[in-house]
Amino acid sequence: MVFEQWAFPYDDENVKGIYDAYKLNFEQPTSLKSFVETSLSEVDSYAAVFVPGGHGSMLGIPEDNNVGKLLNWAHQSDLFTLSICHGPGSFLSTMLNGKPFLYKGYRMAVFPDSVDKMTPMIGYLPGHMPCGVSERLKDLGVELVNTKADKSVCLDRKLITGASPLASNELGKLAAHTLLKELK
C-alpha cells in the first residue's frame, strides 16, 4: 500500500502514532483475495470497509472481482463503507458478473472529473486519466453532493464519502462519530 505522503497529517500525533503502530502492516498487507477467501465469515469482527482514494483506485480496481465481493459483502452484512477522493471508483466493481450497481440512488462526495481534467496542466499527473469517476457514478444514478475538490463529506445510509484529500479530516470526524454512535 502506498500513501500519498503529501496528504499525510504530520501535525496530528494520534494519526502518526497509529501509522507507526501499523506501519509494517501497511508495508506488507494481506492480499485482498486472501481476505475475501478467508475472512468474510467473520462479519462480527468488522464495523466498516474503508476504500482509500488516489488515482490508483480507478485503475484495475473497478474490474477486480475481489473488490466487488468485498463491497457486496459489506453492504449485505450491514457494515459501513467509507471512501474518499477517487476511492468510489471501486464501487463500479459491484456490477461485475452482471450484478446491478449497488449504490444507485445514493448521495456521494467524489473527486470531480472536471478537476482531474486540469491536473495534467498543473503538473500533478503526466497525462489525462483514461476515464473519470464522478460522471460515471452520476450516470449510474449517484447524486453528487460536490462540484469541487473540497472538504465536502456525505453520509447516506451506511456509506460515508469525502470529496478529496482536503476532506480527510472531516471524513475522519464524520466516520468516527457515526461509527461510535452505531456501535454503542
DSSP characters for 104-138?
Answer: TT-EE----HHHHTTTTTTTSSSS--SS-SHHHHH
Alpha-helix runs per DSSP H in 9-59:
13-21, 23-27, 32-39
Active site residue 154: no
Q: Which three cell numbers stand for residue 109?
A: 462526495
CA dihedral 51, 49, 136, 57 (to 10 degrees): 20
**Catalytic residue (one of 51, 70, 85, 160):** 85
* Residues designated as active site: 85
